[in-house]
């Protein structure tokens, strides 16, 4: 299944950390929402509310140092992605109890049921590749992270 995921270079940020507003996990979700706002012009509060609501259903900690907080919004017309690489790994209540250092935020259109699930599956496929996962953890700037992801998604779509 080919999934058209939107991602811009400015949707990748490094070394965001707890800004003193609540738990580290809460600050990370706020950082993801802010990044959606900065990169795509989405309403940060709307996105944060969606991410928080989804998180109440269970942690979006994927394991292996990855979290994929996600929600839906009428403000996007296709799955839209951001990436925060954290300077200090955070407890995200992942099933494997590993702290998270890579946070992939995903916002999909409001009534994109199957498309949303296919986008989550595409992201998880990329992250199951051990070499790719190591490259993402080792990358030290936003440009390198963006290049890794876009090259991977373009290759998978081919």
Closest alpha carbon to 107 in 92, 89, 120: 120
> Is-catalytic flag, 70?
yes
Q: What is the DSSP string of 119-149?
A: HHHHHHHHHH-HHHHHHHHH--SHHHHHHHH
Tell me if 79 sits within 8 A of 25, measured CB to CB: no
Instruction: Give the CA distances from residue 157 to residues 2, 21, 43, 153, 154, in Å, rounded to whole numbers and listed in that order.
Output: 6, 39, 29, 6, 5
Beta bridge partners, 103, equal 67, 84
CA dihedral sign of residues 85, 88, 91, 95: positive
Q: What amino acid positions are annotated as catalytic residues?
A: 70
């Amino acid at each position: 299944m080919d999934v058209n995921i939107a991602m811009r270079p400015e949707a990748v940020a490094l070394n965001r950390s707890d800004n003193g507003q609540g738990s580290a996990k809460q600050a990370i979700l706020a950082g993801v929402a802010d990044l959606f706002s900065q990169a795509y012009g989405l309403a940060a509060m709307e996105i944060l509310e969606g991410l928080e609501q989804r998180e109440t259903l269970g942690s979006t900690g994927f394991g292996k140092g990855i979290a994929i907080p996600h929600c839906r919004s009428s403000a996007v017309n296709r799955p839209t992605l951001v990436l925060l690489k954290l300077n200090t790994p955070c407890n995200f209540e992942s099933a494997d109890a590993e702290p998270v250092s890579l946070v992939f935020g995903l916002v999909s259109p409001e009534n994109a049921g199957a498309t949303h699930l296919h986008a989550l599956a595409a992201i998880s496929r990329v992250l199951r590749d051990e070499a790719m996962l190591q490259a993402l953890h080792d990358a030290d700037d936003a440009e390198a992270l963006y290049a890794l992801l876009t090259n991977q998604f373009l290759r998978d779509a081919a």
